[in-house]
Amino acid sequence: MAFFGLLAGILTAVWLPLPVDATTTERVVTNRYSGLAIEGFDPVAYFTDAAATQGRPEYEAAESGVVWRFRNEGNRASFVAHPEIYGPQFGGYDPTDLVRGVTCAGNPRFWAVVGNRLYLFNREHSRDAFAADPARFLKEAAARWLELEESLAQ
C-alpha cells in the first residue's frame, strides 16, 4: 500500500504543472532560470500602452542585478534613465501579501499603476482588493517592506 502511495505521489508531481519560477528571496522578483525580471515583461509598457507587454531580447538592460526586457529602444532608454519610476514597486512583490508579512512574487499579468508607480499582484482578487483602498495598502505595505526587504538577498 505504501508503495502505491509513493508511486502516486511521484506520478502526480511529474504530471502537475510546475509552479511559477520566480524566486521569493531576491530584492527584485527574478525568474531563476532565465534571470529576467518580471518574466520578461516590459515595465515601461504598463505606463505607455496601459498593457502587460512582453519585452524583446534585443532590447535588454541590466539594473538591480537582473535583466529587464523592453518592447523597443525608447522604453529601454526611459527605464535606464528612471528605473525608480518604471520598475515595479516593492521589487515586484505583491503589496497585499506584504501587508500580511510575506513576500509573494507578483504576476506581471495582474498589475495596477497608482500614483505613477507600478504594482504587481499574485492574484486577480489581490489586485481588486488593492484597487478598492490603495492608500491603506500602500501605507501598510511600505511599513512592512522595510523589515522584509532586509531579509532578502541583495
- List the domain range (segments joined by +) for residue 83: 20-150
Cα 83 from Cα 53, distance rounded (Å): 17
Residue 68 lies in a domain: yes
Tens-place pLDDT, residues 24-64: 456 788 998 999 999 999 999 999 999 999 999 999 999 98
pLDDT at 109 over 90: yes
Residue 2 lies in a domain: no
C-alpha cell belonging to residue 57: 531580447
pLDDT at 23 over 50: no
Cα 62 from Cα 154, distance rounded (Å): 15
Contacts of 1 (CB under 8 A, 6+ apart): none
Residue 12 lies in a domain: no
Domain count, the chain: 1
Residue 73 lies in a domain: yes
Residue 122 lies in a domain: yes
Phi/psi of residue 91, each to 5°?
A: 65, 15
